[in-house]
Amino acid sequence: MEELTSSLAALETSDTFPEDDSKPTLLPIPGPPGLPIIGNIRDFDPVFPLGTFLNFAEIYGPIFEMTLGIAGRRVFINSVELFEEVCDESRFRKVVIGALETLRSGVGTGLFTAHHGEKDWLIAHRILMPAFGPLKIRDMFDDMHDIASQLVLKWARHGPEHRILATDDFTRLTLDTLSLCTMGYRFNSFYTKEMHPFVDAMIGYLLESGKRAFRPSIANKLMRRTNAQYDQDIKYMRDLARGLVQRRRNNPTDKNDLLNAMINGRDPKTGEGLNDELICDNMITFLIAGHETTSGLLSFTFYNLIKNSTAYRAAQKEVDEVCGKGPVTIDHIPKLKYINAVLRETLRLNPTAPTFSLTPHPDLDEHPPTLGKGNYSLEGVPAVVCVLQKIHRDPKVYGADANEFKPERMLDEAFEKLPKGAWKPFGNGMRACIGRPFAWQEAVLVTAMLLQHFNFQFDDPGYELHVKQTLTIKPKDFYMRATLREGMNAVALSAATDATHGDGAAQKHPAKKTSGSDKKQQKKRMSIFYGSNTGTCEALAQSLATNAAGHGFDADVRTLDSATEKLPKDYPVVIITASYEGQPPDNATHFVEWLKSLSGNEASGTNYAVFGCGHRDWQATFQRIPTLVDDTLHKLGGTRIVERGLADAAEGDMFTNFDTWEDELFWPAINSRYGSTSAAAASTTLVSTLTAEISSNRSSKLRVDVSDARVIAAKTLTALGQPEKRHLEIQLPSNAAYHCGDYLAVLPINPKQTIHRAMKRFQLPWDARITLTSTAPTVLPTNCSMSAHDIFAAYVELSQPASKKNVLSLAAAAVDPETKSQLEALAGDQFQAEITQKRISPLDLLERYPCLHLPLGSFLTMLPPMRVRQYSISSSPLHSADTCTVSYDRLEVAALSGSGGKHYGVASNFLSSLERGDILHVAVRASAKPFHLPLDPATPIIMIAVGTGIAPFRGFVQERAVQIAAGRTLGNALLFVGCRYHDKDRLYAEEFDKWQEQGAVQLRYAFSREPELSKGCKYVQDRLRKEKVELCKAWEDGARVFVCGNARLGEEVAKVCKDGYRERRKDQGEETTEDAAEEWFGKLKEERFATDVFD
């Protein structure tokens, strides 16, 4: 202990290392004092080695060293700063040493245990990389779902009293998943009580390999019984692997799996394949590494979720919202953002492969090699051990709560901001885990399915996490219980998880059909070059080539290397490529080197487009090759057809990224530059071998005639700090058509804040379900179990002001005399002032009087059914017949009740919650006949609006602009608009300015906060009076007048008109009474004056 104390006292280092151009003085690496020969063996826990490392990390800080007997010296690092230094592959590389070296006795030169640069690894890695590409992993989804369903059904059938040893069942799951997906073999682990013998052999092999690494060789030789069992375990695993290989050779299939890749694959560089022993090495490697780490990840995940109720509920709620009650499909996976964060945070706290070892590169020009910005010498150190569990909890990166489970810190935006060395549970660089995409898809799927179907709890509420270790780590003795959610039984669940999971396979990225008539037309040439190791970029290239035919192009698809020194110049060129740790794909290396060697204008005349694939987790090299190709071609004189596209695998759906770039940017640019010979240039046809019927019966229950529409775009129109006004563009139902001035009827959902109030008032958990029965007709769904949240959200008007009958019903339910008296008074003389004018709802009254005990059924009976809201369409069908836009205010104001709360507009808050791709229920409703553009386009028009009252007039002017562009001559159009500022809430300013330049409109603004910018006019009525000469001229020319805005605007415009009429009559020598002016205005409204006034 005295030696330890003196060592610590002599240590004068900090956790960070200052930048200094001068050569630093080497510092001693701290560590526990050891004994001669055996070093620190007595300090080492052979059962839980990680515990030893974590303990010393707490003592010594970011770096320490140990001497582990015959294994020699090891330096351990525990900070992100040091970790990023050793992850520099130009200085450090993976080293197979210690227990990993011992494993070679069973798995030889498999991917995990091969030495750096070993020939077998190089060949196997190049052959197997494509087998783990995104498309191949996507193809494995159905098999993953199959095995996951077996786990779900097992737990459902065992019931809520069954004690689940999580690690065992997750091991069954991941072993069966891996073997079925990659080798077409079923272990059927869920159909036997005992674990498969492979698992027992594997555990024995791993444990003994770990122990052998720290025993003298003479001791290992003397342990005959242990050696016999060790050899038997290895023999069982290798016999199993050989049997699987022989089985496939005897019964060949065309299944595109890992086993076929190993049997039939050839190294693209050497042309060599894998011999059977090397195939067995890698099969066992995958079976061990692939299932052990994922089963540990799932076990830690459910421990963390059960331990942290807030995160648990957030995760389960996301699954409910994204996946609903139906099968989890491949398309759900990228949408489960919070589940993704949960898994990341789990691997941050408990990386299941808790360490890996690196060694200085032998060609490193450092003598001696150093660490810590030159502060520590690594001379004589064979391995630097990276302790991920400490690195991932570095408080300099993650803060004072680094040891706490907080998935929010791993949501995409926050995750991307982390230092590149702050999260590396899958290893580093070229030797990182090849099966990461497989493991991640499986983990997200399983977590979602389990949370979708079950509620979980600890078997022992007092359980605290303990960790067991072989080469990987898992929770020790972690038992939990699973209860089926929502009253579902095992029989119903069996049907729900049946073959319908095949939907995922059916939804693979579809090819788009082209018109058969196109084949008769002369097509233009196009070349598509791809750089791809995994097959993803090649698949995107083939997809683009297929679609090209529909745009009048005959596209050829080739590797990027084939374009070396012969880049086409006479027709468009598309390059689709990825980066691999910042390096080009194998079939693009020559092209990239050639491109980098150029310095003139060799790309002049080449019209090109680049699309890049990558994964943002590799921040330092993300999109490096696509960016290099794009920028270099431009620098060499090439012409970009369109800005570079980007797909990020971290977002989970590269196919959608590519489709969006292709459809919205690439083809419009191509068709603009080269023209299109196909009338179907922008159309696609979805091909599917399956049909799915989706029920959405709210509209039929509520007896409203609406159909599904899809959001195309949503944006805010006003500056920050101004009352929020928004724009929504919608793809209309196929049977919908509209005219300028029509309405879009929207069936909304109540604001989440109001729903929360109702749930809270009736003390309902967020996942409460209700079965309604009724003895009278009702629009509410009856005789079926429904989420209380959904009923409050979609079926009733929670904010509707209470009726007198409602108030009296509440009074009848009151037990307290004072409460009853107050409610009766509110239903009497006070009703108009206190209820109607203040818009007090039944929910408001229930919150005001918490002593009221009103049954939920009685409350729902009080509420009117959800109704549609109408919005003026703010676009023209001449611009786009199958889409329309609406412009609206988002209402969020202080409640008139005086409660201190807020009032949220139902429809406006619903619309503001929508994003691109969301579905809503709409119908087109015709406006009154007068509120349409005159049939004679030469008729002048006068439009008057405030705020979003400009909506229909945007449609009017847009239509006029289309007509003018077509060469038509139109009558003059005056638009008077009231808003606050010239630059903060002047809606669609750029569009209207452009249309004014085009001659489609003449703008007349009134800025209430900047009247000096609008001829001193503060309000629209002021501007109308200011421009009375112009107005009179237009009126005399037969102008039609349109007014859209609030009721006050209508009143003010009417007053201006009547005053103007009286003034004009006076100028003509005639006095006119107010009654006469009113009569005149009444006739005017019927003929040439149309209003659309809203509250």
The tens digit of pLDDT for each residue in 735-792 reads 788 999 999 999 999 999 999 999 999 999 888 888 888 776 667 888 888 898 999 9
Burial (Cβ within 10 Å: 0-12, 13-18, ≥19) of residue 515: middle
The tens digit of pLDDT for each residue in 652-671 reads 557 667 877 988 899 999 98
Please, are residues 167 and 203 in contact by the beta-carbon 8 Å criterion?
Answer: no
> What is the percent of the chain with per-residue pLDDT over 70, rounded to a whole number?
90
The structure's pTM equals 0.54
Non-local (6+) Cβ contacts of 177 within 8 A are: 143, 144, 147, 148, 291, 442
Q: Which of 272-276, 460-464, 780-784 has the lowest mean pLDDT?
A: 460-464
Q: Count other C-beta atoms under 10 Å from residue 362's C-beta.
A: 8
- Residue 385: DSSP 8-state: E
**Predicted pLDDT of residue 800:** 86
Label each residue of 156-219 as H, E or C.
HHHCCCCCEEHHHHHHHHHHHHHHHHHHCCCCCHHHCCCCCHHHHHHHHHHHHHHHHCCCCHHH
**Predicted pLDDT of residue 383:** 93
The tens digit of pLDDT for each residue in 866-892 reads 888 889 999 999 898 889 999 999 998
- Please list the active-site residues: 293, 426, 433
The tens digit of pLDDT for each residue in 591-643 reads 888 898 888 888 999 999 999 998 775 666 788 999 999 999 999 999 999 99
**Predicted pLDDT of residue 254:** 85
- Closest to 1062 (Cα-Cα) out of 1081, 1088, 1085, 1042: 1081
Q: Which residue has the tokens 């008032």?
A: 761
- 1055: enclosing H helix or E strand: helix 1047-1067
Q: Which residue has the tokens 């087998």?
A: 131
Q: Give Cα 1093 distance to the centre of its chain.
A: 41
Residue 279 pLDDT greater than 70, yes or no: yes
